[in-house]
């Protein structure tokens, strides 16, 4: 009886050895690839970043100055100030990737440009929330729609936009939000889609009721 057990034990040890060797090899390859890439990045010449497709904040298209409210005014002031800066969606790019694409000398400035984008997406979400608290769902929707247009990675931007569409009896627009979220592969994609689905549990019935309500107005 001992012989089969010993055979199985030896096979198990051999399997572990092969597995350990394979993992070590992959780890070594990953490590070497990283440093090869980092070395290439350090030697990347400085690129001209003056004509990149920077995001322009359409202040005239946002509901600026509509409400005499301290919180809303502060957010609008921050957005206005941000509109004078360079903004680019660099979400997910590592420092090595930034250096490879724009040159080592531009790393700090590109990091700042990426941070400006992150700040904008947060401000837009706060702006839309504040407008919703005023019951101004139409203005809030326009803010969230702009957030979606610049591919904000803030999950609440899309969920709150769905809330606005429900309040405005525009549930049919939720499907377009879901399609965009799925195309972007956001970190909280499942959570966003699940929430948007919960807003219209029976889409056909909901749309019929919505159309009926709108026709009666």
Whether residue 23 lies inside any domain: the answer is no
Separation of alpha carbons 171 and 164, rounded Å: 9
Whether residue 14 lies inside any domain: the answer is no
Mean pLDDT per 10-residue segment, the chain (217 residues): 63 67 62 52 79 96 96 98 97 91 93 97 98 98 98 97 97 96 93 95 52 47
Can you spell out the DSSP letters for 112-132? HHHHHHHHHHHHHHHHHHHHH
Per-residue pLDDT at 67:
96
Whether residue 125 lies inside any domain: the answer is yes
Whether residue 22 lies inside any domain: the answer is no
Sort 15 into a burial class: Cβ within 10 Å, 0-12 / 13-18 / 19+.
Answer: exposed
Whether residue 45 lies inside any domain: the answer is no
Whether residue 24 lies inside any domain: the answer is no
Closest CA to 156 of 121, 112, 113, 114: 121
Whether residue 31 lies inside any domain: the answer is no
Per-residue pLDDT at 201:
75
Q: Which domain holds residue 161?
A: 51-216
Q: Three-state SS for 138? A: helix
N-terminal to C-terminal alpha carbon distance within the chain: 85
Question: Are the beta carbons of 149 and 158 closer than 8 angstroms?
Answer: no
Per-residue pLDDT at 205:
47
Per-residue pLDDT at 173:
96
**Which residues fall within 8 angstroms of residue 187, CB to CB, at 6 or more apart?**
153, 155
Q: What are the C-alpha distances in Å from 109 to residues 113, 118, 201?
A: 6, 14, 46
**For the domain that residue 154 is a member of, what is the CATH number?**
1.25.40
Whether residue 25 lies inside any domain: the answer is no
Query: What tokens appear for 139 in the block?
Result: 């203005």
Question: Are the beta carbons of 100 and 41 closer than 8 angstroms?
Answer: yes
Question: Are the beta carbons of 153 and 189 closer than 8 angstroms?
Answer: no
Question: Total domain count for the chain?
Answer: 1
Per-residue pLDDT at 29:
58
Q: What are the C-alpha distances in Å from 197 to residues 88, 101, 125, 194, 206?
A: 31, 39, 21, 5, 12
- Indicate the Cα dihedral angle 103, 151, 74, 195, nearest 10°: -140
């Amino acid at each position: 009886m001992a012989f089969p057990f010993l055979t199985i034990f030896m096979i198990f040890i051999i399997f572990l050895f092969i597995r350990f060797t394979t993992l070590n090899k992959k780890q070594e390859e990953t490590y070497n690839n990283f440093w090869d890439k980092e070395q290439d990045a350090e030697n990347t010449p400085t690129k001209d970043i003056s004509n990149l497709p920077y995001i322009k904040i359409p202040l005239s298209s946002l509901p600026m100055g509509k409400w005499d409210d301290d919180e809303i005014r502060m957010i609008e002031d921050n957005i206005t100030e941000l509109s004078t800066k360079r903004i680019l969606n660099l979400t997910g790019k590592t420092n090595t990737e930034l250096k490879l694409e724009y040159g080592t000398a531009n790393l700090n400035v590109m990091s700042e440009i990426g941070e400006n984008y992150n700040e904008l997406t947060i401000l837009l979400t706060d702006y839309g929330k504040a407008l919703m608290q005023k019951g101004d769902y139409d203005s809030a929707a326009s803010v969230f729609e702009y957030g979606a247009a610049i591919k904000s990675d803030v999950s609440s931007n899309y969920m709150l936009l769905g809330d606005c569409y429900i309040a405005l009896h525009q549930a049919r627009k939720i499907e377009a939000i879901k399609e965009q979220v799925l195309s972007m592969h956001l970190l909280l994609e499942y959570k966003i889609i699940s929430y948007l689905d919960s807003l219209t549990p029976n889409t056909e019935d909901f749309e019929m009721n919505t159309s009926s309500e709108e026709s009666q107005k």
